[in-house]
Structure 1
């Protein structure tokens, strides 16, 4: 499979909305089963006997699936699931008896209960992977609802030339005094709440861990070669992402049964501008590490660490 075709497909799908270009060597047809493993990195006869987790299901979008993170799984290539994404790392760490990863790049809350059309798919409704005996669920979703991430990443870089020190993109998305991206990010909360209700209904005994998004931009400073946004728009994006994470956290708090993992504290100093310490890839795809504006392997490790701490 040609690397450049993989990169094009991931770039089209990573934040939803765009059609996925066909990959070499794939053909439409019935969706393959999700990535499932039993007794990860341990003898099969001991995993079921000693694991504290019987069945772990990972749900989410590209920040969960891990586009271009090594190694990419062959089933449903348009979902861009990696063996090195944070659910896989977490499953290994917990030595779960059975692990099912149905995360998919470009997914929104809609695709928790509806199929998602991607190359090699469709990816079935993600909640269909849940069972009555599922006892651990991780969920990372929300950034593709209302195409919040996608609009920022595609619209803002070309506007930098207009006012490099200002915030031309924020101005474009402000309509009649209303910041529409912050508004839409905030409005994602009720959708998350609905997803949580359905998870509890299908897997009533499951521990549910909801992952927030790690920080993309630094608290101060800029790096236009890596993040080609106007200076003020970097600060503004932090407001948008904070609004999204706050909406998710409030939905989890109102749910009262799930656990929210705030990735902002642990990802401080690991934004896309942090050089070798960055958890997030900048504007260029790295075919051997991560898709643009997505978690690198180090970011996936950081998210697995945070999830493990939350689970205890």
Structure 2
């Protein structure tokens, strides 16, 4: 998912840590080299503390890859995730505010033995269109589904059609990971819930009532596409965060919410993105499968 472009301007004052992770002795480390690939649902915009390599990627030292690396006590850890990334940025560099992120596959080595991938939401502008368009349509029909109507053409849900193409792209990404890191355990990480399974919270998710249900169905379609890509690959495990995040959507009360609502908190999370608690939730699930 794409985070706000003003990130570079406001985040420069945040305390930052270095780009590496100091693991423990080789005897204690079950993994030699862990690489994290992904978009902003992996990198963690505005979650303290933000790294500078580059600042525009919005990589947090408390995103789920960093938490997992600490929990596993890996010998070496490379987090090359970047806000705004899509599947093309696995093989193509990414220009970001105040810097450049190299192709994410460049972090992979023949000795890499653990890879996590969180990608797909930005492909074909799916999440960007949802959060950029739907809130502005709510006033037209608060109880209806004006955004779903906008993206339904001749009875075809064009957003979900895009997701079918994303599945093809993600399958290619997995193939590329195996080619570059043939010994690695590969985990494809699904997206946690943004919308609740029932009810609405317009002060947090300013979508029309019907569009909240549609948003949830779109996310389910995206996670299904990721699961299908992993199944087609045959050598990747899909880690489904949708069930694990039940009760932790953006509408959940207080600290129970893993996802930030419409209002960015410059010291906690970007709008519609995971909070630190959400990252901890993903890391905990990943820990059970590593």
CA deviation map 1:171-221 (0-9, x unaligned): 000111111111112221110010111100000000000100001000000
Change (3 A) 1:22 1:79: closer
1:35 to 2:23 alignment: no
The counterpart of 1:23, out of the listed 9, 13, 27, is 9
2:261 is matched with 282
Q: Is the 8 A contact 2:45 2:83 kept in 1?
A: yes
Q: Distance in 1 between matches of 2:162 and 2:117?
A: 20
1:270 is matched with 248
Q: Distance in 1 between matches of 2:108 and 2:71?
A: 21
1:58 is matched with 36
Q: Is the 8 A contact 1:187 1:247 kept in 2?
A: no
Task: Return the TM-score normalized by structure 2.
Answer: 0.94
1:294 is matched with 273
Q: Secondary structure at the match of 2:94?
A: coil
Q: Distance in 1 between matches of 2:230 and 2:213?
A: 26
Change (3 A) 1:143 1:173: same
1:21: Cα distance to partner? 7.5
CA deviation map 1:114-141 (0-9, x unaligned): 0001012210000000000000000000
Q: Secondary structure at the match of 1:188?
A: helix
The counterpart of 2:145, out of the listed 161, 167, 172, is 167
2:174 is matched with 196
Q: Is the 8 A contact 1:68 1:289 kept in 2?
A: yes
CA RMSD of aligned residues (A): 1.6
Task: Return the TM-score normalized by structure 1.
Answer: 0.88
Unaligned regions of 5+ residues in structure 2, if any?
Answer: 13-17
Q: Distance in 2 between matches of 1:163 and 1:275?
A: 26
Q: Is the 8 A contact 1:289 1:296 kept in 2?
A: yes
Change (3 A) 1:216 1:281: same
Q: Distance in 1 between matches of 2:181 and 2:223?
A: 24
Q: Distance in 2 between matches of 1:253 and 1:24?
A: 41
Q: Distance in 2 between matches of 1:153 and 1:129?
A: 31
Change (3 A) 1:222 1:24: closer
| Count of paired positions | 284
1:57: Cα distance to partner? 0.3
Unaligned regions of 5+ residues in structure 1, if any?
Answer: 1-13, 27-33
Q: Secondary structure at the match of 2:188?
A: strand
Q: Distance in 1 between matches of 2:11 and 2:251?
A: 36
The counterpart of 2:201, out of the listed 220, 223, 237, is 223
1:7 is matched with none
Q: Distance in 2 between matches of 1:90 and 1:217?
A: 26
Q: Secondary structure at the match of 1:100?
A: strand
Write out the 4+ residue segments of structure 1 that deviate beyond 4 Å after TM superposition: 18-22
Q: Distance in 2 between matches of 1:97 and 1:58?
A: 14
CA deviation map 1:235-282 (0-9, x unaligned): 001111111110110010111111100001100000000022100000
